[in-house]
């Protein structure tokens, strides 16, 4: 049966130093999009996706996205859209927690993510 609703209660934990969150779904749940909710206290690390466009919605805090070597400050209610094959990074401004909602289209595919540093 096809699933249409994904809840925080059923979400998967993920994270690494400076990033902690929940992934609502993955490509096996729904191949066309995936969603994550997470907090940033450090830096993500420079990456690019070979297949997914990414849409970030800033819920809380302040931070910076670095896209194609351009620094873009962000604050609550801002939206950042990153097309596939675009190098980027982001970080919380020191001393703050940056809370983000992320939508990948199509779904996040870890084998199609390229770490650039």
Residue-wise pLDDT tens digits, 24-81:
998 888 999 999 999 999 999 999 999 999 999 999 999 999 999 999 999 999 999 9
Give the model's pLDDT for residue 1.
Answer: 64
The pLDDT of residue 28 is 86
- Does 38 fall in a domain? yes
Identify whether 1 is part of a domain: no
The closest alpha carbon to 89, from 111, 112, 64, belongs to 64
Based on the structure, what is the number of domains in the chain?
1
| Residue 108 three-state SS | coil
37 DSSP assignment: E
Q: Which domain holds residue 90?
A: 23-115
- CA distances, 20 to each of 1, 65, 93 (Å): 30, 17, 16
> What pLDDT shows up at residue 109?
87
pTM: 0.94
Q: Is residue 111 part of a domain?
A: yes
Query: For position 5, what pLDDT does the model report?
Result: 93
Neighbours of 115 (CB within 10 A): 8
């Amino acid at each position: 049966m096809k699933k249409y609703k994904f809840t925080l209660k059923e979400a998967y934990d993920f994270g690494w130093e400076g990033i902690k969150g929940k992934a609502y779904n993955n490509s096996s749940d729904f191949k066309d999009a995936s969603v994550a909710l997470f907090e940033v206290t450090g830096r993500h690390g420079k990456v690019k996706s070979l297949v997914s466009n990414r849409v970030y919605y800033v819920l809380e805090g302040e931070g910076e996205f670095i896209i194609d070597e351009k620094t873009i400050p962000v604050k609550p209610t801002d939206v950042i859209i990153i097309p596939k094959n675009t190098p980027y990074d982001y970080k919380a401004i020191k001393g703050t927690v940056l809370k983000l909602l992320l939508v990948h289209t199509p779904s996040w595919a870890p084998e199609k993510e390229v770490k650039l540093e």
